[in-house]
């Protein structure tokens, strides 16, 4: 048996196989490396931003912190709203050793629900609020507990140092310092500022290891046209009037008729914006702009002014009032008492509805409607307050056969207090309608944005305005407005008594709006005031309910503004001096430090200082009113003398003293040493 030897392999073939395998492996390794490099490039370069964001979201918690809201001041730079830093308590639940016990101890100190707080600890591991914006006492108690995982963060809290004062104007803010009502809401974009942030970093075990904070941009501050002292006067008298007549509510608005600036806007019911949630929503309502009511006889100003302006009537023209009865479209309208022939002036003085209707009929629907619109009714005034109503005014195409008569006497039309007062101010200042405003200036740091002067528009001629002012003065002197007579000043105005609409759509026989709108002094008015009382009990007429309130507000305001008397009485009328504040209250006011509850109450109830509005103080055209006949008297020198000395000196020599300002004698007319008849008036300006 023969054997064969195996054939040896080709060395060349074996070498080629090894090279192929090595080459294949190299290609695979190269492709793998290129893929790895490409992936790394994609992750590190192309997808870097997205991955970084994911990592930050997993490792960090960002908490937005409300910025410091701008302050709100009155026209004398007294703070009405301010923001101060307070402590907020938060937890990092991952660091809490015994969550149930911690929740129980915190709940007892902060008056929280322990179960609800423990539930938050379970739901959130890196961050959760325990209680925001705690009081100083609460913060101290929490610190004394010395609990692990419980921390403090400074946040800004809104304070209203005057409590209820001007609450409906200012409004209030929520927990996140978002304005929810009033100017806080209407001017929120200006006052709020830009928010800051807290960034909390945690590791893989959810343990917090770092935090950082970015401060937001403070908001802008507001300077209002309101005067704290006049606002306090209006609110006090409104409160007394509403309570006296057991009314459902009311409003008093004070305006500078020469500029449109609102000096006071009081509304009742009231509330405290520091604890607004404890009050009912109806108490948050600003009745000055959000309450629409029928004006009643106060609207006769528009009816008569329209007729005078159109040349369809004159003050002394006679109107047959038909014994207080007129028929329109089959409906009989009665006066409150039968009148025969009355002059146009007497129609206003006696508040004759029949007379007003007959004058309104002369105008015709279209012309009457245009005049009403010219006076600003049926449209917003543009005041900076949110929630302003348009009022109710139908176009003539929707008027019925008796509409022109109803509107002529102030029914079938709805107005707001600010609308109606602005119309009276237009007559008071000589015929120019100035849109009302309540924000004077917006500023941040040294950057001030003062509101430009408001451009008024003429609605009636100077002649018509002067004729209306004379007639409105007679309403106060001889007519239904006698209870509005002022001590030392002339005044003009009109009473109003309007039936309210009951739920069935008919005029109520039990509920009325009693009102009075007027201005003073008549020749050069410094203030215009509206008083409207909702549903008084025991009396319904404006002359009984509202006119006395007008008198009280007007006398105190004119004296406070140091407006010279144009109808001085024999006895000197001096403005009441404000109560003296404690040194702590003064320092706190300057530094923006909140006062205690008792101190805030005193501060809110006390006018801050007796500062007159410069635009309201005018020297009289004639410094003396000479009395014919009688002996001549030498005018004393009042320079550097106190008011009391000047009053006693004038009493001694037989002169009438007219006071402007407070302090020591600064200027006088006539000059010292001048000879004037006895009982003449001497005007003296006092200054500090």
Contact assessment for residue 581 and residue 603, using Cβ atoms and an 8 Å cutoff:
yes
How far apart (Å, rounded) are the C-alpha atoms in residues 132 and 506?
50
Query: Cα separations (Å) of 182 from 81, 309, 382?
Result: 12, 38, 14
Q: β-pairing, 221-224 with 72-73?
A: parallel
Characterize the bridge pairing of strands 632-634 and 664-669: unpaired
CB-based contact 50:185 (threshold 8 Å): no
Q: Which residue in the block uniquely carries the two structure tokens 């703070």?
A: 79
Per-residue confidence (pLDDT) for residue 54, from 0 to 100: 63
**172 near 181, Cβ under 8 Å?**
yes
Inter-residue contact 109 to 145 (CB < 8 Å): yes
Coil, strand or helix at 532: strand
Residue with tokens 């020198």: 637
The tokens describing 654, both together, are: 């037989």
688: which 2 tokens? 């500090």
Give the residue among 178, 181, 191 at the shortest CA–CA distance from 222: 191
- Between the alpha carbon of residue 537 and those of residues 190, 220, 498, 510, 545, the distances in Å are 43, 45, 14, 9, 10
Which CA distances in Å does 417 have to 26, 241, 290, 423?
92, 17, 9, 10
Q: What φ, ψ does residue 111 adopt, rounded to 5°?
A: 55, 55
CB 515 within 8 A of CB 496: yes
297 is catalytic: yes
Helix 462-478 with 417-428: angle, nearest 10 deg: 110
DSSP calls for 542-597: HHHHTHHHHHHHHHHHHHHTTPPPSS--SS---PPPPPPPPHHHHHHHHHTPPPPH
Q: Which two tokens stand for residue 636?
A: 């004393």
Compute how many other C-beta atoms are within 10 angstroms of the C-beta atom of residue 642.
14
Q: Which two tokens stand for residue 438?
A: 């309540």
Q: How far apart are CA 51 and CA 42, in angstroms?
A: 11
Q: Which of 88, 208, 297, 403 is catalytic?
A: 297
In 3D space, the residue among 289, 291, 288, 461 whose CA is nearest the CA of residue 371 turns out to be 461
- For 214-249, what is the HEC assignment? ECCECCCEEEECCCHHHHHHHHHHHHHHHHHCCCCE
- Are 617 and 647 a contacting pair, CB within 8 Å? no
Residues 6+ apart with CB under 8 A from 513: 293, 294, 296, 496, 497, 498, 500, 532, 533, 534, 535
Beta 60-65 vs 196-202: how paired, if at all? antiparallel
Among all chains, which residue has been given the structure tokens 């009982």?
679
Nearest to 172 by CA among 155, 156, 191, 185: 185
Nearest alpha-carbon partner for 127 in 100, 151, 93 = 93
CA separation, residue 60 to residues 212, 430, 450 (Å): 11, 66, 43
Tell me whether residue 617 is exposed, middle or buried, using C-beta atoms within 10 angstroms of its C-beta: 0 to 12, 13 to 18, 19 or more.
middle
H or E segment to which residue 154 belongs? strand 150-159
Q: Which two tokens stand for residue 561?
A: 């503004």
> Which residues of 233-371 form beta strands (DSSP E)?
249-255, 262-268, 318-320, 325-328, 331-334, 341-343
**Segments of 335-374 assigned E as strands:** 341-343
CB 257 within 8 A of CB 527: yes
Output the pLDDT for position 406. 95
| Nearest alpha carbon to residue 290 among 375, 161, 186, 408 | 186
For residue 34, the model assigns a pLDDT of 83
Eight-state DSSP code of residue 638 = -
Angle at 170 between CA 164 and CA 173, to 5 degrees: 95
Q: Could you report the average pLDDT of every consecutive run of 10 residues in the chain (688 residues)? A: 54 62 82 80 68 60 72 94 87 87 90 90 85 87 89 84 94 86 93 75 54 73 95 96 96 97 96 90 93 96 97 95 92 91 95 96 96 96 94 95 95 96 97 96 82 87 96 95 94 94 81 96 96 94 96 96 81 42 41 40 36 35 36 84 79 79 79 81 78
Contact (Cβ atoms closer than 8 angstroms) between residue 274 and residue 163: yes
Do β-strands 325-328 and 331-334 pair in parallel, antiparallel, or remain unpaired? Answer: antiparallel
Tell me if 249 sits within 8 A of 545, measured CB to CB. Answer: no
Q: What is the CA radius of gyration of the chain?
A: 37
Place of tokens 């200036």: 441
Cβ pair 283, 270 in contact under 8 A: yes
How far is CA 189 from its chain centroid? 16
- Alpha-carbon distance 289 to 492, whole Å? 23
Res 455: pLDDT: 86
Alpha carbon distance 513, 530 (integer Å): 13
């Amino acid at each position: 048996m023969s054997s064969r030897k195996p054939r040896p392999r080709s060395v060349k073939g074996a070498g080629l196989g090894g090279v192929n395998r090595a080459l294949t492996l190299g290609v695979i390794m190269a492709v793998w490396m290129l893929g790895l490099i490409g992936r790394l490039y994609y992750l590190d370069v192309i997808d870097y931003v997205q991955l970084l964001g994911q990592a930050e979201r997993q490792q960090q918690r960002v908490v937005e912190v409300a910025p410091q809201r701008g302050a709100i001041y009155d026209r004398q730079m007294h703070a009405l709203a301010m923001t101060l830093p307070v402590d907020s308590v938060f937890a990092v639940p991952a660091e809490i050793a015994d969550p149930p016990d911690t929740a129980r101890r915190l709940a007892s100190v902060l008056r929280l629900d322990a179960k609800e707080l423990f539930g938050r600890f379970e739901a959130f591991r890196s961050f959760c609020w325990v209680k925001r914006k705690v009081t100083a006492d609460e913060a101290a108690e929490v610190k004394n507990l010395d609990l692990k995982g419980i921390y403090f963060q400074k946040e800004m809290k809104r304070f209203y140092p005057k409590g209820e004062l001007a609450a409906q104007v200012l409004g209030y803010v929520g927990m996140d310092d978002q304005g929810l009502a009033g100017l806080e809401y209407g001017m929120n974009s200006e006052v709020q500022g830009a928010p800051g942030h807290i960034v909390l970093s945690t590791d893989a075990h959810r343990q917090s290891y770092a935090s950082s904070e970015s401060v937001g941009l403070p908001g802008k501050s507001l300077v209002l046209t309101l005067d704290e002292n006049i606002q306090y006067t209006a609110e006090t008298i409104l409160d007394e009037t509403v309570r006296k007549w057991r009314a459902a509510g009311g409003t008093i608005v004070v305006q500078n008729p020469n500029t449109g600036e609102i000096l006071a806007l009081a509304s009742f019911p009231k509330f405290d914006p520091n604890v607004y949630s404890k009050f009912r929503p109806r108490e948050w309502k600003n009745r000055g702009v959000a309450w629409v009511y029928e004006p009643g006889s106060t609207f006769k100003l528009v009816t008569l002014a329209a007729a005078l302006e159109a040349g369809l009537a004159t003050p002394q023209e006679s109107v047959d009032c038909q014994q207080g009865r007129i028929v329109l479209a089959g409906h009989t309208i009665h006066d409150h008492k039968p009148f025969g022939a009355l002059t146009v002036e007497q129609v206003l003085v006696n508040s004759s509805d029949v007379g007003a209707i007959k004058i309104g009929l002369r105008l015709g629907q279209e012309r009457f409607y245009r005049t009403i619109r010219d006076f600003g009714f049926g449209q917003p005034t543009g005041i900076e307050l949110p929630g302003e109503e348009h009022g109710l005014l139908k176009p003539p195409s929707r008027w019925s056969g008796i509409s022109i008569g109803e509107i002529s006497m102030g029914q079938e039309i709805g107005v707001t207090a600010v609308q109606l007062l602005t119309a009276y101010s237009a007559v008071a200042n000589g015929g120019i309608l100035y849109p009302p405003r309540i924000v004077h200036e917006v500023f941040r740091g040294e950057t001030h944005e003062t509101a430009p002067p408001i451009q008024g528009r003429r609605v009636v001629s100077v002649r018509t305005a002067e004729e209306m002012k004379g007639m409105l003065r007679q309403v106060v002197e001889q007519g239904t407005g006698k209870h509005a007579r002022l001590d030392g000043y002339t005044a003009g105005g009109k009473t109003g008594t309007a039936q309210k609409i009951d739920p069935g759509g008919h005029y109520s026989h039990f509920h009325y709006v009693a009102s009075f709108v007027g201005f003073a002094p008549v020749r050069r008015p410094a203030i215009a005031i509206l008083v409207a009382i909702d549903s008084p009990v025991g009396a319904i007429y404006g002359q009984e309910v509202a006119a006395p309130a007008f008198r009280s507000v007007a006398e105190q305001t004119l004296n406070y503004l140091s407006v010279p008397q144009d109808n001085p009485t024999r006895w000197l009328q001096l403005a009441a001096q404000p109560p003296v504040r404690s040194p702590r209250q003064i320092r706190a006011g300057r530094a923006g430090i909140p006062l205690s509850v008792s101190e805030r109450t005193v501060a809110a109830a006390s006018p801050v200082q007796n500062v007159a509005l410069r635009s309201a103080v005018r020297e009289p055209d004639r410094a003396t009113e000479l009395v014919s006949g009688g002996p001549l008297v030498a005018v004393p020198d009042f320079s550097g003398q106190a008011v009391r000395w000047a009053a006693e000196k004038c009493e001694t020599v037989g002169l009438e003293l007219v006071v402007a300002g407070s302090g020591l004698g600064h200027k006088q007319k006539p000059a010292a040493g001048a000879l004037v008849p006895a009982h003449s008036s001497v005007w003296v300006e006092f200054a500090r």
